[in-house]
Amino acid sequence: MTARADAKSQQLAPRLVRPTAKSVLRLSTALHRRWRRLLQAAPFRAAGLGIAISETGRRLLQLKNRYAGRRAFVIGNGPSLRQTDLSKLSGEVTIGSNGIFLLTQEKGFRPTFYTVEDRLVAEDRSSAICQYKGVIKIVPLDLSRWVHPDEDTVYIKFVRHPRPFPQFSPAFEQYVCWGGTVTFLSLQLAYYLGIREVYLIGVDHTYHPPARKDEVSGTVVTSRSIDLNHFHPDYFGPGYRWHEPQVERMEVAYREADRFFKKHGRRIFNATVGGQLEVFPRVELEAIVANKVTHGVA
Edge-first strand order for the sheet with 215-217 is 215-217, 220-222, 241-243
Residue 298: predicted pLDDT: 40
Residue 12: predicted pLDDT: 54
Return the CA Rg of the chain.
24
Residue 29: predicted pLDDT: 72
Whether residue 211 contacts residue 224, with contact meaning beta carbons closer than 8 Å, is answered with yes
Whether residue 147 contacts residue 126, with contact meaning beta carbons closer than 8 Å, is answered with yes
What ranges in 154-219 are assigned the alpha helix state H?
182-192
Question: Of the CATH numbers 1.10.238, 3.30.70, 3.40.50, 2.40.160, which one belongs to the domain with range 67-207+247-290?
Answer: 3.40.50
Return the closest-CA partner of residue 157 out of 135, 136, 142, 137.
142
- Cα separation, 129 vs 146, in Å, equals 9
pTM: 0.87
Residue 139: predicted pLDDT: 98
- Cα separation, 283 vs 90, in Å, equals 19
Whether residue 185 contacts residue 138, with contact meaning beta carbons closer than 8 Å, is answered with yes
Q: Where are the domains of the chain?
A: 67-207+247-290, 209-244
- Cα separation, 166 vs 192, in Å, equals 17
Spans of the chain, pLDDT less than 70: 1-17, 27, 30-39, 292-298
The model's pLDDT over 165-214, given as tens digits with 9 standing for 90+, comes to 999 999 999 999 999 999 999 999 999 999 999 999 999 999 999 999 99
